[in-house]
Chain A
Amino acid sequence: MSMDGTVPGAPGVVVVGGGIAGQAVCEAVRELDALTPITLVCAEPRLPYDRVRLSEILVSGASCETLALRPAEWFTDHHVGTLVGRRVVEVRAAERLVVLDDGAELPYTALVLATGSDALMPPIPGIDQPHVHPFRGPEDCDAIRDAATTARHAAVIGGGLLGLEAARGIASQGCAVTVVHLMDRLMERQLDAGSAALLERALGMDVLFERQTAEIAPDRLRFAGGDELEADLVVVSIGIRPQAELGRATGCAVERGIVVDDGLRTTVDGVWAVGECAQHRGIVHGLVAPILDQARTAAAAICGDTTAAYEGSIPSAKLKVSDVPLVAIGATDGDGEVVSQDAGRGVYRKLVVHEGRAAGAILLGDVRGAEALLGLVRRGDEVEDPLAVLAASAEAGPAEWSDDTQVCDCNGVCKGQITAAVTEEGARTPREVMAMTRAGTGCGSCKATVVDLVALAAGGEVADEPAYLCPCKRQTREDLAAVVREQGLESVSEVSAACGTGRDCGACKPALAYLVSEVNANRHREERHARFINDRVHANIQKDGTFSVVPRMYGGVTTPEELRRIADVAEQFDVPLVKVTGGQRLDLLGVKKQDLPAVWEALGMPSGHAYAKAVRTVKTCVGEDFCRFGLGDSMGLGVELEKAWEGLHTPHKVKAGVSGCARNCAEATIKDVGLVAVGEGRWQVRVGGAAGGNVREADVLATVDSRAEALRVATTFLQLYRENADFKERTYDFVPRWGLDRIREEVLGEASGAALRERFRLAKAAVTDPWLERREPYHPRQFTDLDDEPAAAREPAVVGPPEEALR
């Protein structure tokens, strides 16, 4: 094995190609065999994404990450090694070895070529100009989207499915666009003349038919025959070319694509090919459903099933351009057909019959019954009365479908499996059902149907989509909190053992540490391995591995004595930078980890918590004492607020501000919690403000008559946020998510408010200054590496509020 260390594990299955096919092969092999090492080599600089939904990037500017087929954790959890942004340059089939672009060698027992296809770019003069783009990858989408914002007129060459999606995407950017098509109708492979004409009308786009582009000039297309079309942005989408080069170089037989048998085997021993690069029984499939069928068969064959056979697929396509529902299944023509057409409503429904059997269907404008018709065509059912069959298909809703009606074509999931996930396996939401059955996770066009079926199986409305605390647990914050409460769990390890997969992914450990502490009113068994380094040494890690220290300075108010001490410490420990933070505190930057205990000792000030998910600072203006305009004691209230909240951990950092008048020098209206004096002793309490990547003006929660009431309302809100926000959810996301009305109800309600304040009191009673650990470290090496002197050991203890605080 190569010694560059990039190659995880022993020889196993190596999949070349990070597209839908490559992903599907990894998943199918893993389903059959939990142990075989799998390595996925992705030439694109990202993990596999859903190329079928590519036009979403064009329309909405969505990032490619939103199209990821699986989150990065999936690969970890399923032990699939990934080599991203790397290319296979050579296959040495005799040695069962692939060579990567950097010279690394990767041994395999089975090699799967899932290299996909490239956009077909015909040798038209001028096609290599910068204003001409293929429509194939996220980079193409970004380039087209950018160009569409300034282009005067765009042309899309190709009136197939992808071409139409590209055209709609360009039009959505406000750019005039014309589709140029060689044939006499749109999507001629999937549609007949009648439906194509209706589609053209429904799309409302300019289309030029039977035009062959002879030349692309910088500002126009010139067609064979002489006429021209103005275009300073050109997208070419006339088809795909199987990417068979690697297969050819490997010695596989290649015709249009890499030739494979019914087991998806190429002509080279130990090498399979799946997806758009493969040619099966003379056909290169470019749709998701057949590719996933192929992946499943290939996986079975790789795992030793000699009978696994792929026998071809009935092509079916769903158009994904906005509001034009369209499903095309199988053949467009046969020896018999019935059409139900309502041109006024833009509805066209057709059933094609050949030799007495269902052979194809086209549904435009009204796609009810598509699942049933696809089943009919796929099985090749005998059709005695086509008219009756077509009429009946529109009548049947999901409730009437038989259990073997296929809902998700991409993943071959039937209604019965979805129902069973709800009734037998206890799934409660569409997302859980999708994760369990994979329905709706391909092209996504059946998601709405999946939601309907889940509701049907659950006997009514479905629950809201859950926000999991971590994908490794597949449980929400509320679910986990309930388990912590019911089982009396006191530590992260206990939560991990009791919930989810029984192991930690690591990424969620700090969230669990907060949860177990918050649910137990701060009384919990503290495990530092679950904490981020900042919370293990109570300082903020910097890019060079040193730490910054921010002593607490209530309300931003200090004294000459404190300033002197801070200055002395800075000199004593050679602190390279002293800076005033954005929250009016002094920051000592560049302190070595092993010096932290001594720095605190010398400072003798409490921790500013500038490193933690905790209450950070309360920024204040000078207020009524000195300011000419001050209407309230902002400094005094700020100090009081900070002392009341000091040391409390929160789902995310909390920054507050108190302004003495509407001039708002403390910027209280863009803080998580802001208090603003409005005169006559009255204070405005604002929540959910932000001045980060998004600027959000804080909402006014209440305007109250006294300083004490302002403190009370703000504190009640803080506790509501502490108990209900997701980990790492700032108040500016929490407040709009919950809604101001509901927050007011809870915070200002007499009983609910009192309960929140009582729980706040308990949590606050547990607060200690973490900097006291300088004298009593939780481990002799809390602050030292192995070549530094450790502190003395001490026994671990339960931390939390004193017993009397718990009554």
Chain B
Amino acid sequence: MIPVCSVDDVPAGEGRSIDVEGRRIALFNTPTGWYAIDHACPHAGGPLADGIAADCSVICPLHERRYALDTGAPIGHAGGPVATHRVQVLDGRVCVALGEDAGADDAAPAAAVAA
């Protein structure tokens, strides 16, 4: 697990992006816990961390594609999934483990661990 930020760094209900080992990921602080997914929307590269998050999903700010935060699955559209990464909160630090095949298209989806 790689510590990426403090729990105070992401405003409640929002997402922020960060570079982790060369991969741009988006981290979300939601009422049901923390989630990490790839930052770039598989559709047109939209910045997912800037999307509106609700009910364990995020809506891309560019073209409103929606993805499940826990599985990365597309919701309500035919596009591909977004890769997800494991998150753990330890002593107020948010830590991320990149999906096993980070960098490949088929990074392992993994459920986020609630804070």
Contacts and interface: CB of A to CB of B under 8 A. Distances in A.
Contacts of A9: 71
A1 to B, nearest CB: 9
A9 B68 CA distance: 11
Contact of A545 (B13, B46, B66, B84): B46
A6 B73 contact: yes
Q: How large is the interface on A (under 10, 10 to 19, 20 to 34, 35 or more residues)?
A: 35 or more
Interface stretch (A70-78, A91-99, A569-577, A756-764): A70-78
B50 A533 contact: yes
A785 B17 contact: yes
Contacts of B74: 6
A5 B54 contact: no
Nearest to B26: A785
Nearest to A74: B76
Interface in A525-544: 527-533, 536, 541, 543-544
A529 B71 CA distance: 21
Interface in B1-56: 4-5, 8-14, 16-19, 27, 44-47, 49-55
A529 B18 contact: no
A509 interface: yes
B76 A528 contact: no
Contacts of A533: 47, 50-52, 61
Contact of B52 (A4, A5, A509): A509
B98 interface: no
B50 A505 contact: no
A291 B62 CA distance: 40
Interface in B57-86: 57-59, 61-62, 64, 66, 68, 71-78, 80-84
B83 to A, nearest CB: 7
Contacts of B91: none
A507 B109 contact: no
Contacts of B45: 544-545
A778 to B, nearest CB: 8
A533 B61 CA distance: 7
B55 A8 contact: no
Contact of A506 (B5, B46, B54, B71): B54
A503 B32 CA distance: 12
A47 B77 CA distance: 9
A45 interface: yes
Given A45-B78, A75-B75, A3 B109 contact: yes
Contacts of B44: 543
Interface string A64-108: 000000001101100001101100000000000000000000000
A630 interface: no
Contact of B53 (A529, A532, A536, A787): A529
A570 to B, nearest CB: 23
B50 A506 contact: no
Contact of B76 (A72, A530, A784, A790): A72
Contacts of A504: 54-55
B78 A510 contact: no
Given A504-B54, A506-B52, A5 B11 contact: no
Given A8-B68, A506-B53, A545-B46, A781 B78 contact: no
B55 A506 contact: yes
B89 interface: no
B4 A541 contact: no
B52 A532 contact: yes
A72 B59 CA distance: 14
Interface centre among B58, B72, B73, B107 (most CB of A within 10 A): B73
A6 B62 CA distance: 22
Contacts of A527: 13
Contacts of B8: 793
A544 B50 CA distance: 12
Interface string A1-18: 001111111000000000
B62 A786 contact: no
A529 B54 CA distance: 9
Contacts of B109: 3, 5
Contact of B12 (A6, A529, A532, A541): A529
Contacts of A47: 76
A531 B49 CA distance: 13
A781 B52 contact: no
Interface residues of B, number: 52
Given A3-B101, A529-B52, A781-B11, A545 B19 contact: no
B16 A785 contact: yes
A102 to B, nearest CB: 10
Given A527-B13, A781-B16, A785-B16, A545 B55 contact: no
B108 interface: yes
B62 A543 contact: yes
Contact of B106 (A3, A503, A529, A530): A3
B98 to A, nearest CB: 14
A781 B9 contact: yes
A473 interface: no
A593 B59 CA distance: 19
Contacts of A544: 45
Nearest to A39: B73
B53 to A, nearest CB: 7
Nearest to A541: B61
Contacts of B76: 47, 72-73, 75-76, 82
A503 B78 contact: no
B18 A509 contact: no
B55 A786 contact: no
Contacts of A510: 52
Interface in A513-528: 527-528
Interface in A40-81: 45, 47, 72-73, 75-76, 81
Given A6-B81, A73-B76, A545 B54 contact: no
Contacts of B73: 5-8, 81
A6 B73 CA distance: 5
A502 to B, nearest CB: 11
A529 B11 contact: yes
Interface centre among B58, B62, B76, B105 (most CB of A within 10 A): B76
A72 B77 contact: yes
B32 to A, nearest CB: 10
Contacts of B68: 8
Nearest to B68: A8
Contacts of A530: 13, 52
B50 A779 contact: no
Nearest to B29: A529
A505 B105 CA distance: 28
Contacts of B10: 781, 786
Interface in A756-807: 778-782, 784-787, 790, 793
Contact of B81 (A5, A72, A528, A531): A5
Contact of A76 (B9, B57, B80, B84): B57
Contacts of A8: 68, 71, 73
Interface in A333-351: none
13 contacts: A5-B71, A5-B72, A5-B106, A5-B109, A75-B76, A85-B78, A503-B55, A509-B54, A532-B61, A533-B47, A536-B14, A543-B44, A781-B11
Given A5-B72, A76-B75, A528-B14, 12 more contacts: A9-B71, A73-B76, A507-B52, A507-B59, A510-B52, A533-B61, A536-B14, A545-B47, A545-B50, A778-B11, A784-B16, A785-B17
Question: What 8 A-B pairs have minimum CB-CB distances, sorted nearest first?
Answer: A529-B13, A506-B54, A72-B76, A786-B18, A5-B81, A84-B78, A504-B54, A533-B50
